[in-house]
Chains A and B, each alone.
Chain A
């Protein structure tokens, strides 16, 4: 199935230029339009592959945009498997497409990652 959107971005349709914010995608700087969610911003920028299915290896992209299908998973600011359609876009976000599965054992062996995780968690250290 084609992932080409049926909608035309307002900017391209002649509206005044949309405000953008800077993020990085797979380490490269990217200007994305201000949007409510990370998924919407990336789609509007033309990103078509968000991850590979860990089961079939196929390229995947957002489908439902409402938190149900789990197709839009991305690594956002170091945390893998985040549903990007439910994450609010913020300037400076460090986003990576996901190839393969999250690896809990590898994360457990990485003290820096473990500390960052603990600080981020709502229950703290």
Chain B
């Protein structure tokens, strides 16, 4: 028997959940197909930052899109609390990006100034000297000479975010199907609209590809292009401790419950999410250099997870021209962009125009060769 809904979302990670949540808020009937626990789940391996600073140097649309999501995040956290009863533990005290030499400090200033100029000034960063950083982070090591600081930066509990979105979605009537890997989408053109049949069982006039690394293969079947590749990050999890750090940083943060999370690496190793001792040692060394109090920290876990990276590191959002109603959404910042996905991107899937910032993120940009820069942090 065929199961019919308004929209099928393929992927039950943070991107799929946030878009499904936004669609459900608009009253759409949504079916979400989730591969299962064997999937490479970026949503269960990430670092939990809501991070703005440094993102979008050389790409003003990405800087704007990221900033808009960070500004919407408090609303997302409140709404999820109300609808799911789950506190996602959002804190946005601003983030610190450390510098270890005068040269590095000046380079960072140039990057931050460049983004501020691109954003007509609405980007209130500060370059802090060592004494100002110490006032915020008393555990700071001697090697750190300063930091860039942006008040919008923050962090949340990414596992609670995933759970909150799933719970809110269920309460809003989203049909969640687990253990349903997808490898076949058959598009049909009927009159003005399209009809998509997924795995011969699920049918809808709209389909959203939010399958992370699986988007590469699925996009081709509906006239889209999403050349995403895996990029491994490894992290260390330390024992719970009393608060020693009140601000999120790019590679050390302390969760609301005291757990110390230490990242990360960027490795091109294909579909391999294992951990390696040499990389973990480098990660630990950098963390201890920045915060010497961590030298006695007990490590309770380590894992590797795969980022979903496009060739230029920016998101991919596009509706198929050949089969309107097929959408692709790929990014490597499912936590940071969750609010923009729920409140802006879902409207686009529901029929509204693509948000201005996102017109630069079509997958077809990779079909015309040009200098490709990676934008990650």
A48 at the interface (CB under 8 A from B): no
B244 at the interface (CB under 8 A from A): yes
Known: A54-B257, A54-B258, A55-B257. A107 touches B240 (CB 8 A): no
**Cβ < 8 Å to A, chain B residues 300-352:** 300
Q: Which range holds the interface residue count of chain B?
A: 10 to 19
Please choose the segment from A3-11, A39-47, A98-106 that sits at the chain B interface, where 4 or more of its residues have CB less than 8 A away: A98-106
B292: chain A residues within 8 A (beta carbon): 108
A107-125, CB under 8 A of B: which get 1 and which 0?
1100000000100010000
A104 touches B257 (CB 8 A): no
**Cβ < 8 Å to A, chain B residues 126-143:** 138-139
A81: chain B residues within 8 A (beta carbon): 239-240, 298
A104 touches B294 (CB 8 A): yes
A96 CA / B138 CA spacing, docked (Å)? 28
A101 touches B296 (CB 8 A): no
B138: chain A residues within 8 A (beta carbon): 105
B296 touches A107 (CB 8 A): yes
A100: chain B residues within 8 A (beta carbon): 242
B60 at the interface (CB under 8 A from A): no
A10-48, CB under 8 A of B: which get 1 and which 0?
000000000000000000000000000000000000000
Known: A70-B300, A108-B139. A102 touches B239 (CB 8 A): yes
A103: chain B residues within 8 A (beta carbon): 241-242, 244
Determine which of A70, A82, A102, A121 lies in contact with B241 in the assembled complex, contact meaning CB atoms within 8 Å: A102
Q: Which range holds the interface residue count of chain A?
A: 10 to 19
A82: chain B residues within 8 A (beta carbon): 298
A104 touches B298 (CB 8 A): no
A100 CA / B240 CA spacing, docked (Å)? 10
Closest to B301 in A: A70
A107: chain B residues within 8 A (beta carbon): 293, 296
B258 touches A104 (CB 8 A): no
**Cβ < 8 Å to A, chain B residues 227-270:** 239-242, 244, 257-258
Interface SS majority for chain A: mixed
B297: chain A residues within 8 A (beta carbon): 104
Known: A104-B139, A104-B244, A105-B138. A121 touches B296 (CB 8 A): yes
B265-304, CB under 8 A of A: which get 1 and which 0?
0000000000000000000000000001111111010000
B300: chain A residues within 8 A (beta carbon): 70
B257 touches A117 (CB 8 A): no
A1 to chain B, nearest CB (A): 22
A101: chain B residues within 8 A (beta carbon): 240-242, 258
A70: chain B residues within 8 A (beta carbon): 300
B258: chain A residues within 8 A (beta carbon): 54-55, 101
A102: chain B residues within 8 A (beta carbon): 239-242
A93 to chain B, nearest CB (A): 18
B293: chain A residues within 8 A (beta carbon): 104-105, 107-108
**Cβ < 8 Å to B, chain A residues 27-84:** 54-55, 70, 81-82
B296 touches A105 (CB 8 A): no
A105 touches B242 (CB 8 A): yes
Closest to B297 in A: A104
A103 CA / B258 CA spacing, docked (Å)? 10
A107 CA / B295 CA spacing, docked (Å)? 11
Binding site for A on B (CB under 8 A): 138-139, 239-242, 244, 257-258, 292-298, 300
The 7 closest A-B pairs by CB, nearest first: A101-B242, A104-B293, A103-B242, A81-B239, A102-B241, A108-B293, A104-B244
Binding site for B on A (CB under 8 A): 54-55, 70, 81-82, 100-108, 117, 121
Given contacts A102-B242, A105-B293, 4 further A-B contacts (CB under 8 A): A55-B240, A101-B241, A104-B139, A104-B297
- Mind listing 30 A-B residue pairs with CB under 8 Å? A54-B257, A54-B258, A55-B240, A55-B258, A70-B300, A81-B239, A81-B240, A82-B298, A101-B240, A101-B242, A101-B258, A102-B239, A102-B241, A103-B241, A104-B242, A104-B244, A104-B293, A104-B296, A104-B297, A105-B138, A105-B242, A105-B244, A105-B293, A106-B242, A107-B293, A107-B296, A108-B139, A108-B293, A121-B295, A121-B296
